[in-house]
Structures are given as C-alpha cells and as structure tokens.
Chains A and B, each alone.
Chain A
Amino acid sequence: MVKPQLQTRKLNLWFGKNHVLHDVDLSVYSQKVTAMIGPSGCGKSTLLRCFNRMNDLIPETRITGDVLLGDEDIYKNGSDVSRIRAAVGMVFQKPNPFPKSIFNNVAYGLQIQGKIRRSELEERVEQSLKAAWLWEEVKDRLNQSAMSLSGGQQQRLCIARALANRPKVLLLDEPTSALDPQSTAKVEELCLELKKSVTILIVTHNVAQAGRISDYTAFMYLGDLVEFDKTEKMFTVPADKRTEAYLTGVFG
C-alpha cells in the first residue's frame, strides 16, 4: 500500500451550528491528480480548504479529526500555519493576481519566507514561470502589471506563484471555471505535466474535466464522502447509486 501524501481521518467540520463535513476519510496519493466532484454546496471546496487551513479565516469554524500532510498532523496545537500554507499551494476559482508586476507576483511567497539573494530570487521566479508554461509569454515584460495579462495567463501566473514556494501539494479550487475553453485546455494539460513533481488535488464542477485529468476521483454529497476510487473505475462502474446519478447528470 502506497502511503498517501494527504489524508483525513474522521474529519468533521462545523461553521457555527452548521455541520458541513461528516466523518470524511480521504487519501490523496502523491504524483497523482485527485479530483473532487459533487453538486454545489456538497462541501468539496470546504474540504479542499482544510488541507491548507484556509478555513481558519472563517470565524466560528470548528474541526474534529485529523488532517495529515505526510506524517504531520497540520491541526496539531502549535503547528506553524504559515509554513503549512507555503508547503500546500493553492489556486482559486477566479484568477487573483496581486496588482503588482508579474515578477513581484511570483516573488511574493519567497519574499515572505525571509531574506533571499536577488540572483536566487530571479532564478526561482524564472523556474516557476517556466513550470507554469508562462515564461515564453512574459519573459520580456516581467515588470509589467499582472493585470495586463489575459484571464488564462493570470491563472497560470497564480499557479506559478504557488509553485515558487516549491509546495508538496497543489490545491486547485475550480481553477478553470472562469476561463475560456482554450485556456481551460492549457491548464488541464499543465496539470498532467505538474503531477510528475507535485501532488494535485482539484475541485471541479465539470465531470468531463475530472475524467480527462484525474487518476482518482472523490464524489461528495451533502457533506459526506460518498465514494472514492480510481477515476476509470468510478466513471465506468460507480459503486453508489448517488454517484451514478450525478455522473449521468440526473442532478447537479
């Protein structure tokens, strides 16, 4: 049995009195793309945000159970949230570059981590932009505002920005829902390339997208993890009736 890169055990989450996640046990394997699908409000984005503790920012959030990054319980008392977030990169639904230059966007995470030599910084920025397939398009205008890029470029910039921290895991929260089909295809291809070096967990509304890029799929419904399996298997012979109904488009 391969050891999972990310794992939850009996994870429960409440927003105030609202019980959002119920006893979730999920494993995310390294060098794979794992997709989370399910109808709106099923808790998949909330679950995603447990892996870098972004739910901490919402007041009155309560969590029980464990979330493991490798061997580390990231909700353990005294754990360094900043370090965890740097090790678990995240890309959001809407491209959200800072209103800064392209260079400074990618350099942001590194500069936060502490002092870094200019030459090293430049090297890491270049590497990250290359890894996000953006380097060729922006190498001559690194000092221009990130806002001048197209939507698809902005999203790849956000990916480059997350990669600059050299994370172990990349969390993608519906990263293509605001993009046109061409930009979407490019991001999907990029995921397949990136999974060689980083574990990818992607939330998507688009079942076809999950089928195209993921190795594993988790289907969530009303806060329960209904089914988790290899994508091929789930898409051909779903074990649960709800999964089947969702995949065939009966609801959602």
Chain B
Amino acid sequence: MKTLKEKLFQYITYLAALFTILCMLAIIFGIFREGLPLFRVVSLKQFIFTNNWYPTHAEPAFGALALIVGSLAVTLGALLIAVPLGLGSAIFISEIAGSKLREAIKPIIELLAGIPSVVYGLFGMAFLAPLVRQWFNLDTGLNVFSASIILGVMIVPIISSLSEDALSSVPSNIREASMALGATRSETIFRAVVPAARNGILCSVLLGFGRAVGETMVVLMVAGGAANIPTSIFEPTRPITSTIAAEMGETVVGDLHYQSLFALAILLFLITLATNLIAELVFSNRRR
C-alpha cells in the first residue's frame, strides 16, 4: 500500500516535470513554425542587417536592424544604471549593514521586483519623461535614456539579490585573511570579497540582461517607439519586444507581418537563451 502511494507520488511529480518541458517545447515549436516561413520571402541577412521596418506598407519591408539595436541600446543603458546600484546595495547589505539594517533594507529592495512593469511604464511616461525633456532641453523625453533608467531600476533587485547571495557565500575566513594582512574593510571588500564572488556577480548581471532585453511594457510606454537607429541616448527607439506587443494585436494570422513578429520572437528567444546558457556556464564554473 505504502509503495503504491510512493510510486503514485513519484509519477505525479514526474508528470509535472514532463508537462513543464512539454510547454517549453510547444512554445519553441510554435514560434519557429510561425516565424520561420518569413525567411522564404525575406532573407535572414536582410531581416537582421537592414534598417527598414515598414511591415504594413503597400510594399512591406522587414529590416529589423533598428529594432535589434534599440533592444540592445536600452538594455545596455539599463545595465549601466543597474550594475552600480545593484552591486552597491549588495555590498552594503552583505558587507556593511548590521543585521537589523539588513533585515530592513533587503525586503524593500526586493519589493521593487514586485511592482508590475506597467506601473513602472506609467511612472516613466507620466513623470520621468517630462522631467528628462525639461532637464536636457530635448524634443521628447520618450527616449533611450528614460527607458534605460526605468529598466535599470527594474532590474536592480535581480542584480542586487543575486550579487548579495554571491557575496554572502564567500567564506568569512577570506575576509579574516585579508583583514589580518592589514587591509581595511573597503580594501577587503574590493580586493578580496568581490573578486571571490566574481562569477556569481557576473551571473547576476547576465540574468539582469536577460530580464531587461525581454521586458516589454516599460519600453513600449517609455522608449518612444521610433523604428530608427538612435544616434544618441536622447533619441527615441523601438525595441524588439515593444514592436511585437504593439503590432501583434492587429495583424492577421498567417500573413507576412504576423510571421515577421514571430521571427522577432525567435530572435529574442535566441538572445535570452544565449545569455541563460552563458550564465549557466559561469555558474557551474563557480561551483567547481
């Protein structure tokens, strides 16, 4: 009787795992099946390397270069903001704050992760963008800069909490060794602890990258949406995700435009897959 129960339980968990994998495969299969037919009409080279996105024009053009550059621009901008903020707060929480302060700050930073992205987007559109426009005397505040700030704040919790885990898991005898050699607290942090946690920190940055590159709502609302390769951080741009979200609602199933959006989804999927694989690799390296 007991073994039967045991077996049943094992099968149920097995089925749950199997189902999750099936979902994953179905998604991959779906986006590839809907997206790949585009390349019968548009060459891969044309799709990735030309800057000409007019999917609904009488003579439609599907050159996604501006969208790819847009995604990378806001993501890198976000990292420039989130890495110092996230790593800084991770160092503060793990190495400097006392236990009481740590217990107070950690949940607040993690709360940032719980705010829905549409709320970030609203804030960016209604408050940040007008301010950015006034501060820098710009034509519009909906641009790479504003989107990077909002995205950056959004991924701070990821970088902060994963980096903090990495820093906290550095054995305390490393800190002792450094202090005993005459290093001050800050020298110990920057020369011994952070280097020892390097892989974990790198991992957090990669996962932050993955999150930012896939974020949709914020860039849809704050990046401006111009399918244009930005020549400065104060120009609007149109990342891959916001293109898919904005255009998918009104395309007709199966036409070229529809396929092109799935082709963008494939591209996005490959980018995030690559970052996750690299992160996995870095992480397993750390374990060794």
User: Is B174 touching A98 in the complex (CB atoms < 8 A)?
Assistant: yes
- Closest chain B residue to A86, Cβ basis: B182
Select A113's contact among B176, B177, B178, B182, beta carbons within 8 Å: B182
CB of B184 closer than 8 Å to a CB of A: yes
User: Is B178 touching A98 in the complex (CB atoms < 8 A)?
Assistant: yes
User: Is B180 touching A85 in the complex (CB atoms < 8 A)?
Assistant: yes
Residue of B171, B179, B192, B195 with most partner-chain A CB within 10 A: B179
Total number of A-B contacts with CB less than 8 angstroms? 64
CB proximity of A144 to chain B, nearest CB, Å: 14
User: Is A108 touching B191 in the complex (CB atoms < 8 A)?
Assistant: yes
Select B183's contact among A54, A57, A92, A112, beta carbons within 8 Å: A112
Contacts of B192 in A (CB 8 A): 98, 108
Contact A96/B182 with A108-B191, A112-B187, A112-B191 known, Cβ cut-off 8 Å: no
Query: Chain B contact residues: over half helix, strand or loop, or mixed?
Result: helix
User: Is A161 touching B195 in the complex (CB atoms < 8 A)?
Assistant: no
A98 to B175, CA, bound (A): 9
User: Is B195 touching A99 in the complex (CB atoms < 8 A)?
Assistant: yes
User: Is B179 touching A108 in the complex (CB atoms < 8 A)?
Assistant: no
Q: Which of B161-195 contact A (CB under 8 A)?
A: 171, 173-174, 176-184, 187, 191-192, 195
Select B176's contact among A86, A96, A109, A111, beta carbons within 8 Å: A96
CB of B128 closer than 8 Å to a CB of A: no
B-to-A contact residues, CB < 8 Å = 98, 171, 173-174, 176-184, 187, 191-192, 195-196
A-to-B contact residues, CB < 8 Å = 52, 54, 57, 59, 82-86, 89-90, 92, 94, 96-100, 108-109, 111-113, 158, 161-162, 165
6 nearest A-B pairs in the assembled complex, by CB-CB distance: A86-B182, A109-B181, A96-B173, A90-B180, A85-B182, A82-B182
